[in-house]
Structure 1
Amino acid sequence: MTADKHQSLAQWEEFLAKNPKIEFVWLQYVSYFTRALIRMIPVAKFTEMIKTSTNAPAPTAAWFLCPGDRLAEGTSPCGTFLLQPDISSAYCQAGSDGTRAVVQSNCLNTDLTPLEECPRSRLQILHDTLVAREGFSVLVGFEIEVVFMKEDAAGNYTPISYKHTYAEVTSEDYGHLNFIEDIVRALLGVGVVLEHFHAEASPGQWEFVLPPASPINAADMLLKARETITNIALEHGIRATLYPRIWEDCVGTGAHAHISVNDMGHHGSRPELPESFFSGLIQHMPAIMPCILPHDISYARVQAGIWSGGEYACWGWENKEVVLRRVATNRFELKLMDGLANPYLALASILAAGLVGLAKGLPLRAGHCRIDPARMDHEERSALGVDIKLPNTLDASLTALEADQEVVTYLTNKLVSSYVTVKRTEMGYLRTLSDDKRRQWLMSRY
């Protein structure tokens, strides 16, 4: 038995000992649409697969399925890849009475090399590159913003509370506190220890702040937490939605990411080095955007004055109206990302841009912005180096990604071309729907 195989089996047996009621294993990977694609396996069969190092096959075409399970234009129905369980990600699913385990997968080619189309595999490769080549590691902490809604018989959604405002618990909110606290208890039950949680600004909106972790673990935790929130909400007859902008006169719903770049002891006290990572993000933000803002409605948050990051690629100390809010010398908050993004792909694009910045030693420009740069005149922005206006449509950001060869090189041509092809096919379908139908379609899924 190899060391990796022995470790996986030991981890799995320890997990089963702590969760003896497990009957089924959900072996999953996450599509470009941020939907979990699942192989459901009886626990005895899954245990045997771990013992024999057997990986479950899946069709390559699954990466290219668009609404209606139609293949994206120009893609092939042929091919197979393998789902390799990451036992360290296993947890007992909330609401399953202890009978279901969920395990994330690494996607492999049949020769056991990483599958290029897989964002999770690419994220791990890029973080390994950052550690080995640059001597830095990254920690990521996500904030989950979510709006809780009631659905009527016609499929229309209304928030659970209108008398609702940032950081307060109103008289209407008190009626839902048991539900909110049930979510927090369930998160603790799946191993997610929140930093804190509070009411947010839009009707029915709450925020749950996750602890920092390595990029893969942070993305795994985010998906686990979202699933748990959704399941507990359903038990209460409530829909939890990540839809980015429900009301034009209210702030939107994001998935802010706190990112710290940490010296592993090779650089001494040189704060300018982590700054090059974040300079890479600013310089390549247009290429990152289709990975962090993946739908047309996502761009309703790319505007000034709504606490979502604004319209320019820039940074500012503790400024909540810029793309990168600087919190510490080596830590920034990325405010643009929303909950419709695949977190593995989003973080992979961020690491790709950061690696470009580090490799080129880019100095940090485009800040410090003390106010929203949209309120500055051209001369004021130029003096700070704020010269990149962000794409305000998905079409423009996809084009920016394709044109940015430095970021594409790190993500790989195959991953980028696959993602862009699928997104354009999905866009074509969703744009045939009326505004109301498209909103309902998205809110029923996200």
Structure 2
Amino acid sequence: MYPLMPDPRISFQSFLYDNPNVEFIWLQFMSYTSNTLVRIIPIAKFKKMLQEDQWLALTRAVLHLIPGDRLAEGASPSGKFHLRPDFSTAYCQHGSNGTRAVVNVYSVNSKGEPLPECARSRLQELHQTLQYENDCSILIGFEVEVTFLKPKFDGNQLVDYEPLNTPFQHSFTGMAAEDRPHIELIEAVARALASVDIELEQFHAEAGPGQWEFVLPPFEPVMSIEILLRARETIMLVAQSFGYRATVATQPFPQQPANGSHIHMSLNAMGESTNAASATRHHVQAQQHKAQSQAAHRQKAESFFAGILHHFPAILAFALPNDMSYSRLASGTWSGGEYAAWGWENKEVALRRIENNRFEIKLVDGFANPYLVLCALLSAGIIGLRAGLALMGGPCERAAAQLSFDERCKIGLMDSLPDHLDAALDALEEDGRIQYLLGQGLVDSYLGVKRGEAEVLRGMEDRERRLIVGEVCTF
């Protein structure tokens, strides 16, 4: 079942009608190392390509590159694929005066069919499967935690970056005196996001020096990621206009609070409505039906998130995809902890339960490719629904690591999560059910890229490694 791909020619003409100043088309997609890759086409050439029903071709090897633009072991240098634009994602880049249109793409073969490596297509297919099998839909809302950095000079030479604030003079939800000089930057970010059609839920100071959080509105899975990528790019452009940089890297400064990329996820019934006339005539029956429907949907939601908890070791291979990511697996940091546990409004567990059908997934960071993360989460949730799994591992009222052995046994919480990248990649390789839903081609390609990337990074000095990895998440 391939995802529905709208005709780009029709949607493109509609977009140009609303944005007549476009000069360049930025075709954008994301690698397995979470780099945003772009091909730029002048508008005249792009119009001609559409008229002739042509899509831009790239070497397929680009999907299998590790740092240094080297091919991952086992990947082929041969073959090509095409970038099929999805103009439902198009927007004019902030600060471009409407001249640059950014468009996300599908990676397809010469027949227009999605490649096995195309996580964007796979995510859309998985959401369609969830809707078809369970009459349910998913809403996703991302939180963007970002650290703003200012340049550090030695004379006229740029030598490093440091946070806008010093530690202990910037705090969670605070507005310290040292924050005041930078409030124009933060408000400029909010205005810029509104200019690219992102209506923030809220924004506030986070715990780390120079760290702020911008809460994005909820959307269906693919669109939620388009909004996330648009928001990150816009934040970067605003920071640059102020002479600063912005990073979503996990821990840009050792011993300081880490950035997360937390995901709010809710499972919602589709087409649920109440007939008012019938409810008036049969009030008792209507109330009973409503209660039964709510109970059934709660059970679906619990089975969905039970699948996520059960397969969390494999999910971490995507959600925490770098050696540095595993600094988040610690109690006392509000980052998710060391166990696949859940708790009501508990910030010290992997899944913070907010409503019966809504959880926050905390063990995700800015190094992750969000398409792959949501693919893994939906795959695990579908497995949980198909098996009718019971939700175990909670509720926890404190950090799971602080529970006694007997307390963990009582709620079915026995095994700790992988505490390093190799263990998570091994868990993914051993999880046949996740592999089946994700597709063997996607999983094998990802494992090859991530293991090759890890080998390269581990051969570097710590400072060099932090700079290289940070560049992926630093704008």
Q: Normalising by structure 1, what TM-score?
A: 0.96
Structure 2 residue corresponding to 1:183, chosen from 173, 177, 189 = 189
Summarize the alignment of residues 267-346 of structure 1 with structure 2, pairs less than 5 Å apart: 268-269=293-294, 270=296, 271-346=298-373
Aligned length: 443
Q: Residue 321 of structure 2: SS of its match in structure 1?
A: coil
1:168 corresponds, among 144, 166, 174, to 174
Whether the 8 Å CA contact 1:138–1:260 is kept in 2: the answer is yes
308-317 or 153-162, larger mean C-alpha shift: 153-162
Alpha-carbon shift at residue 284 of structure 1 (Å): 0.2
In the TM superposition, what whole-angstrom CA distance separates every residue of 1:72-129 from its partner, at most 9, and x where no partner exists?
Answer: 1221100111111101000001122221000000111112211101111111111111
Output the CA distance in 2 between the equivalents of 1:332 and 1:125: 22
What residue in structure 1 maps to residue 414 of structure 2?
Answer: 387
Counterpart in the other structure of 1:37:
37
Q: Aligned to 1:261, what secondary structure does the other structure show? A: strand
Equivalent position of 2:276 in the other structure: none
Structure 2 residue ranges without an equivalent (≥5)? 273-291
Aligned twin of 1:16: 16
- Which of 192, 195, 204 matches 2:201? 195
Matched with 1:431 is: 458
Percent identical among aligned pairs is 47
Is the aligned partner of 1:104 residue 2:131?
Answer: no
* Distance in 1 separating the partners of 2:271 and 2:80: 42
| Residue 257 (1) aligns with residue 263 (2) | yes
The answer for the alignment partner of 2:161 in structure 1 is: 157
Q: Which deviates further from its counterpart, 229-238 or 409-418?
A: 229-238
Where 2:27 maps in the other structure, the secondary structure is: strand
Residues 5 and 86 in structure 2, CA contact (< 8 A), matched pair in contact too? no
Structure 1 counterpart of 2:216:
210
Larger radius of gyration: 2
Further displaced range: 165-174 or 153-162? 153-162
Amino acid at match of 1:343: P
Structure 1: gaps of 5 or more residues = none
Distance 1:423 1:249 in 2: 26
Task: Please name the residue that 2:235 is paired with.
Answer: 229
Tell me if the contact between 1:259 and 1:332 (Cα under 8 Å) persists in the aligned partners.
yes
Whole-Å separation in 2 of the counterparts to 1:333 and 1:57: 38
Amino acid at match of 1:107: S
CA contact (8 A) 1:326 1:333 kept: yes
Counterpart for residue 275 of structure 2: none
SS of corresponding position for 1:441: helix
Task: Report 1:66-145 matches (<5 A).
Answer: 66-145=66-145
State the distance in 2 between where 1:251 and 1:150 align.
18
**1:251: Cα distance to partner?**
2.2
Q: 1:277 & 1:333 partners in 2: Cα distance?
A: 13
Q: Stretches of 4+ moved more than 6 A in 1?
A: none
1:357 aligns to what?
384
Residue 367 (1) aligns with residue 394 (2): yes
Report the TM-score, using the length of structure 2 for normalisation: 0.91
Aligned residue among 430, 439, 463 for 1:403: 430
**What amino acid maps onto 1:428 in structure 2?**
E
